[in-house]
Structure 1
Amino acid sequence: MLDNLKDNLRSALKKIVGASDINEELINELCKDLQRALLSSDVNVKLVLEITKNLKERALKETPPKGLPKKDHIISILYGELSRLLGYSGELLKNTDKKRIDEKIINFHPDRQNTILMLGIQGSGKTTVVAKLARWLTKHGYRVGVIGADTWRPGALTQLKMNCSKINSIVYGEEENKNALEIVKNGLVFFKEQAIDIIIIDTAGRHKEEQRLLEEMRSMHTIVTPDHVFLIIDGTIGQQAFNQARIFHENAKISGIIITKLDGTAKGGGAIAASAATGAKVLFIGTGERIDDLEQFSPTSFVGRLLGMGDIKALLEMARSLEIQSDENQSKRLLSGKMTIEDFYAQMENMGKMGFRNVIENLPGLSNFVKDDHLDVLQEKMEKWRFIIQSFTKEEKRNPDSINESRRKRIARGSGVMEHDVKDLIKQYNNSKTMMKQAKGRQMHGLLRRFGLG
């Protein structure tokens, strides 16, 4: 995600980290590198100049706190300025627990049904995000209903029902009715009798120049009086997000922004910065095509990942949301170096559920050393390993060292792979076993348990 911006920022940081002397020339070079990195991600020029001006002034004038090296202080300044650029305003963000969402993120009324009006231009991925948001809310303990009021796009209701069927959310829609306002009224009446906490309303995609649709949006806002209005913005439009968000905000009082398609664009940084500049909080970002690929947005955590500092909190939230459970006995075996080959595969499988890239990207420092092509190879190997392990006998699972050449040939034939694939699995297993034995300690034990990897 945002690989170019990430690489450019980390390249700029390396000059600071590797410098023997921090002087004005080096600070100027850092600012130029930062400008190039942000401009290539389509961040507005004015915002770029502002952030680099602040960075230079603070880096040259501020005295580092006692005990903090100058270069570390400059990195912390960069971290803070980038976080502010992406919408951080100084408030603390808390962990998101079931049925308890930080009021600074989304505030729902506990004693009545809540409504969320979803807006966006056509092609922004709004209908897909409706299902993803329903999924996210469901995972946090809310009962969610959806009203399909996009009467303009052919197949919109069908797509919505198909997406929501995967998460068991009820969808109200009227195939033959082209009056969106009427559908919304009827839908609200329908859900009034249902045990639903939150109603999400999917609307037609509209453009800031389409007055008829904007009128419909204003009328719908009046009828619904929603608790929240979320604007869906396509991350590929970059800094154009500012004008788009501003027009929508003027017509419907946007309370939050969700940015989609960040996994496939170089302009995502510009879209986030532009959205944040409107004053509306960026609440979520879309990070992939899966129903679970909607991530609560935190400017500080996001910048930490861009700079290679990781985001442990995001990993823990990911493990919780995917309902990855730890196994106490498995954890003990892993840390004692007595893990079975099935333990090894379970560990790798849990990492796969969270996405190898996500795990590596969120572990501090590790993302700088693991290349994307290595992760692709690992993902391919995982598919083979599953079939290989299924071809093991019980004895071979207990003691993979007992696998000699004839057994290796049998396993390869039974799993449809080459012999060297079987050897590779056993080698990786033994390497991991040794590494885990060397990594004994409370900290590693706690980390494994919390990630659900042991």
Structure 2
Amino acid sequence: MLDNLKTNLRAAIKKIVSSSGIDEELIDELCKDVQRALLQSDVNVRLVLEITKKLKDRSLNESPPPGLSRKDHIVKILYDELAKLLGNETEFSFKAGKINKVLMLGIQGSGKTTMSSKLAKFLTKQGYKVGVIGADTYRPGALVQLKTMCEKANVEVYGEENNKDSPQIVEKGLKHFENSNLDIILIDTAGRHKEEQDLLDEMKRISKVSNPDLALLVIDGTIGQQCFNQAEAFHKTVPVGGIVITKLDSSAKGGGAIAASAATGAQIMYIGTGERIDDLEQFSPTRFVGRLLGMGDIQAVLDLAKRLESEADDVRLKRISSGKMNMDDFYYQLEEVTKVGSLRGFLDNMPGLSGMVKDDQLDQMEGRVERWRYIIQSMTKDEKADPDLLNSSRIKRIARGSGWSEHDVKELLKNYKNSKSMMKASKGRQMQGALRRMGLG
């Protein structure tokens, strides 16, 4: 995602970190490097000059907080200013005890239908009951595509193949779902060009019929700065409550798309990061910038640390950090990873690990983690407390009980021992160091 911007920003930071001392000339050089990186990613010139002016002023005039070096403080300032450029944290939340209606808007080719399916899957995984109304009567095959993709998420789609009256389909769809105990209904609409009056009129009529709780504008990330004009045109027709940016995985203009969307004042709520139905994430400027700068998703690491602190007792934490953990603790860590999301997302979010593991290796690792959880669940309480008890006959019994092979059980034991040794060797120093570098630890 946004590889050029990522590479250029990291190169700029490397100059600061590896320098022997900080002076005005070095800060000027950093500002030029950041300007070049943002302009190449199609960020608006005025915004680029604004951010680098703030970066220079703060770097020259602010004193680092206690415990943070001047170099690290400058990196933190860059992190802060980039996050501000990309908008605010999402504050919207779906209301409990009612059906939340979400209207999906966007011009043709922006990826609305695909995004409706992805969002349906994403929200289902968050525990919501979701239904979808297919009201795109303009594009042939739109309803079939929507139904095919939503089947993967076990989400019901209401649509009428031969009805060309979109507002009527929406009205009938809402009646169809009104007693189905749903939390959220997504309404997929048609798209033409943003200036076609009949499209904008149709959006008004659908909005009147559906009275949505949230209008989400879907924008193609490859169009860069043009996002601003597109968002403005739709916003005048139907008040846009949030923006979804698609195709960020393949775009050199992604930075421009995000910055332009943020400049409209509507919050960027979700970003599509790939072609798979699971390639969608809630947008957070601070997390996104953390990944761009190669510092990992600092907030995700902090959230994980908070959960460990609040959910685990002191004894468990001491055991894990000192390398004396047992199989129960190892299982607990696997569970924590799955709470954060997929292993792919977790590794991408960890400082220093982003992009280090290939896709095919990640798929294998995710499969292993799933197997290991079943294997650990097949162990007795004593075996979890003391894995050294596991001799060949116990391994055979666990393999039979879990439905996996003895080789899989032995592989788990090997990884458990490796993890234990690594914990003992590092005692959490690496994560603490990463947080300290951000001024957060």
Whole-Å separation in 2 of the counterparts to 1:157 and 1:77: 47
Residue 124 of structure 2, aligned match among 138, 147, 158: 138
Could you tell me which residue of structure 2 aligns to residue 47 of structure 1? 47
Could you tell me which residue of structure 2 aligns to residue 246 of structure 1? 232
Whole-Å separation in 1 of the counterparts to 2:14 and 2:428: 31
| Residue 120 (1) aligns with residue 99 (2) | no
| Residue 261 (1) aligns with residue 270 (2) | no
Name the CA shift for 1:354/1:213 in 2 (closer, same or farther; >3 Å). same
Map Cα deviations across residues 256-293 of structure 1 (whole Å, 9 max, x no partner): 00111112222211110000001110011112233332
Whole-Å separation in 1 of the counterparts to 2:25 and 2:429: 44
Could you tell me which residue of structure 1 aligns to residue 183 of structure 2? 197
Is the Cα contact below 8 Å between 1:315 and 1:359 reproduced in 2?
Answer: no
Whole-Å separation in 2 of the counterparts to 1:65 and 1:381: 43
Map Cα deviations across residues 398-418 of structure 1 (whole Å, 9 max, x no partner): 99xx99xxxxxxxxxxxxxxx
Could you tell me which residue of structure 2 aligns to residue 215 of structure 1? 201
Residue 256 of structure 2, aligned match among 239, 262, 270: 270
Whole-Å separation in 2 of the counterparts to 1:384 and 1:170: 28
Q: TM-score, normalised by structure 2?
A: 0.76
Whole-Å separation in 2 of the counterparts to 1:145 and 1:277: 32
Residue 158 of structure 2, aligned match among 146, 149, 172: 172
Is the Cα contact below 8 Å between 1:142 and 1:198 reproduced in 2?
Answer: yes
Name the CA shift for 1:155/1:248 in 2 (closer, same or farther; >3 Å). same
Question: How many angstroms does 1:65 deviate by?
Answer: 3.4
Could you tell me which residue of structure 2 aligns to residue 78 of structure 1? 78
Unaligned ranges ≥5, structure 2: 305-311, 373-386, 393-410, 432-441
Could you tell me which residue of structure 2 aligns to residue 150 of structure 1? 136
Is the Cα contact below 8 Å between 1:84 and 1:299 reproduced in 2?
Answer: yes
Q: Secondary structure at the match of 1:200?
A: strand
Q: How many residues align?
A: 404
Amino acid corresponding to residue 59 of structure 1 in structure 2: S
Map Cα deviations across residues 300-332 of structure 1 (whole Å, 9 max, x no partner): 1111121122225447989xxxxxxx9xxx999
Name the CA shift for 1:133/1:175 in 2 (closer, same or farther; >3 Å). same
Map Cα deviations across residues 115-141 of structure 1 (whole Å, 9 max, x no partner): 111001112111111122222222333
Amino acid corresponding to residue 375 of structure 1 in structure 2: K
Question: How many angstroms does 1:430 deviate by?
Answer: 7.1
Name the CA shift for 1:441/1:76 in 2 (closer, same or farther; >3 Å). closer
Unaligned ranges ≥5, structure 1: 94-103, 319-325, 390-397, 404-423, 445-454
Name the CA shift for 1:84/1:209 in 2 (closer, same or farther; >3 Å). same
Whole-Å separation in 2 of the counterparts to 1:36 and 1:438: 41
Question: How many angstroms does 1:198 deviate by?
Answer: 1.8
Amino acid corresponding to residue 38 of structure 1 in structure 2: L
Amino acid corresponding to residue 12 of structure 1 in structure 2: A
Return 106-115 or 162-171, whichever deviates more.
Answer: 106-115
Is the Cα contact below 8 Å between 1:146 and 1:171 reproduced in 2?
Answer: yes
Share of identical aligned residues, percent?
59
Could you tell me which residue of structure 1 aligns to residue 438 of structure 2? none
Q: Secondary structure at the match of 1:148?
A: strand
| Residue 358 (1) aligns with residue 334 (2) | no
Could you tell me which residue of structure 2 aligns to residue 280 of structure 1? 266
Q: Secondary structure at the match of 1:157?
A: helix
Whole-Å separation in 2 of the counterparts to 1:371 and 1:293: 16
Amino acid corresponding to residue 54 of structure 1 in structure 2: K
Matches within 5 A, 1:219-234: 219-234=205-220
Could you tell me which residue of structure 2 aligns to residue 7 of structure 1? 7
Return 230-239 or 330-339, whichever deviates more.
Answer: 330-339
Residue 435 of structure 1, aligned match among 410, 422, 425: 422
Amino acid corresponding to residue 47 of structure 2 in structure 1: L
Q: Secondary structure at the match of 2:358?
A: helix
Whole-Å separation in 1 of the counterparts to 2:243 and 2:227: 10
Whole-Å separation in 2 of the counterparts to 1:234 and 1:225: 25
Whole-Å separation in 2 of the counterparts to 1:144 and 1:191: 10
Amino acid corresponding to residue 265 of structure 1 in structure 2: S
Map Cα deviations across residues 419-448 of structure 1 (whole Å, 9 max, x no partner): xxxxx999988755642453567999xxxx
Could you tell me which residue of structure 1 aligns to residue 286 of structure 2? 300
Could you tell me which residue of structure 2 aligns to residue 322 of structure 1? none
Amino acid corresponding to residue 247 of structure 1 in structure 2: A
Name the CA shift for 1:214/1:20 in 2 (closer, same or farther; >3 Å). same
Could you tell me which residue of structure 1 aligns to residue 56 of structure 2? 56
Name the CA shift for 1:154/1:338 in 2 (closer, same or farther; >3 Å). same
Could you tell me which residue of structure 1 aligns to residue 439 of structure 2? none
Is the Cα contact below 8 Å between 1:172 and 1:187 reproduced in 2?
Answer: yes
Is the Cα contact below 8 Å between 2:227 and 2:260 reproduced in 1?
Answer: yes
Question: How many angstroms does 1:142 deviate by?
Answer: 2.4
Is the Cα contact below 8 Å between 1:147 and 1:171 reproduced in 2?
Answer: yes
Name the CA shift for 1:429/1:69 in 2 (closer, same or farther; >3 Å). closer
RMSD of the TM alignment (CA)? 4.4
Is the Cα contact below 8 Å between 1:122 and 1:207 reproduced in 2?
Answer: yes
Whole-Å separation in 1 of the counterparts to 2:62 and 2:43: 26
Whole-Å separation in 2 of the counterparts to 1:246 and 1:333: 55
Is the Cα contact below 8 Å between 2:84 and 2:285 reproduced in 1?
Answer: yes
Could you tell me which residue of structure 2 aligns to residue 375 of structure 1? 358
Could you tell me which residue of structure 2 aligns to residue 417 of structure 1? none
Amino acid corresponding to residue 248 of structure 1 in structure 2: F
Return 175-184 or 424-433, whichever deviates more.
Answer: 424-433
Whole-Å separation in 2 of the counterparts to 1:48 and 1:111: 44
Whole-Å separation in 2 of the counterparts to 1:377 and 1:114: 38
Amino acid corresponding to residue 43 of structure 1 in structure 2: V
Is the Cα contact below 8 Å between 1:206 and 1:214 reproduced in 2?
Answer: no
Map Cα deviations across residues 51-104 of structure 1 (whole Å, 9 max, x no partner): 11121122223333345432222222211110111003xxxx5xxxxxxxxxx5
